[in-house]
Every structure is written in structure tokens, then in C-alpha cells.
Chains A and B, each alone.
Chain A
């Protein structure tokens, strides 16, 4: 079974709105990563947050991590049509990284 599971499975918003995606996982982690996948650029790394961090920012991205709840959230502020993609959280499961099923984000212009 997958370590990380995102919700919602799909999200549709208007350009300019914020988008929030959540990830829950099952076992202790050393870090959690978020990746984006779209048809143009494939899978790219967005941000990594370590288990001793609670919040991290990168441009319009804000990631939080709550290890007590085994959950993380990815917030994209002021969304753009170009943010349309699938977003995956990935956690370290031993010596391998385990990806969730992803959230499909659609940003309408």
C-alpha cells in the first residue's frame, strides 16, 4: 500500500485563487517532498521539508508538516493556469521514496 495519500483527488479553481492539497502518511519519516507533474515538463521536484521542520516556503508555495498527525499540506497562492498539473507527495520509506496517488489541480483562466 502507498505510504502517502493525497486529498482531494481532484481540485478545480479559478485563476488567482489559492489551492490547498493535503497528504497523509502512515509511518515515521525523515522528510517529505512534493512533486509536480504536467505534460510539458514531466515530474519535477517542488520542495522538501524535513521532519524537524513545521513550515517551508518557496515562492508561491507553502508547505506545512505535522508529524503528530502524519500529514502535510501544500498551499499554492495566487494560482495561475500554468499551475494546472498533478501534485504528488513523496515520503521516505526506508531506503526508497514512496509516492502518493496525487491531486489533479485544474486552474481555470
Chain B
């Protein structure tokens, strides 16, 4: 079956512009995560959605970052007024209900802010 998909795969933008990244989770997965991975580093948790519960936004680095998810489907991560330090790969993952299950990762979106 289809895995987690993300779009675009690559995004180059100018400093100060807004960007929107999309994640399509595996059908039936109620949990969805966004992570940021800078070059050569580990995964930095950004936000977690579980069903219709309020999302855990504790990892968002600033108020320029926001994310939405409609029900148990697509999620978008928006970065406003991008900065060069936002350059990274943004990974999305989904899993069955709850945080204790295997996460399935998408291929990521590589964001470059010039």
C-alpha cells in the first residue's frame, strides 16, 4: 500500500517568504508527527497530532511555525517569514493511534532558504 508522502520534495525560497509543506499520512493512521532534521543531526520534534485531540505543539521553535491537520488526513506545516536557519529537511511520520507505535516516515521536504 501507499506510504507517507510529502510534497514538495525540494523547496528553495528567499528569506522572508512563507512556505507550506504538505504531508499525506498512511490511511488509517490517526497519529501524525512533524520533525526537522538539520544536516548531519538528529530529528527535532516539532508537532504531534492524534485524532481530534489538541495537537502537541511543544516542539515548534517559534511562532513563525504552525501546522494544521484536517481530521485524520493531510497535514500542512507552514513557516512564515522564513530565515536561513530554517533550512533543513522536514520529515513527516504517521502511526497507528498513540505515540508508542512504529512510525512510518515520508521522504521529507528539503527546504533551502537563501
Alpha-carbon gap, A33 to B91, bound state (A): 17
A82 within 8 A of B: no
Q: What is the size category of the interface that chain A forms with chain B? A: 20 to 34
Q: How far in angstroms is the closest Cβ of chain A from B69?
A: 15
A14 within 8 A of B: no
B62 within 8 A of A: no
* Main SS class of interface, A: strand
- A45 and B35 contact, Cβ closer than 8 Å, known pairs A88-B42, A99-B45: no
* Number of A-B pairs, beta carbon distance below 8 Å: 51
Interface residue count for B (Cβ, 8 Å)?
A: 22
B108 within 8 A of A: yes
Contact residues of A between 1 and 43, Cβ < 8 Å to B: 2, 30-31, 33, 35, 42-43
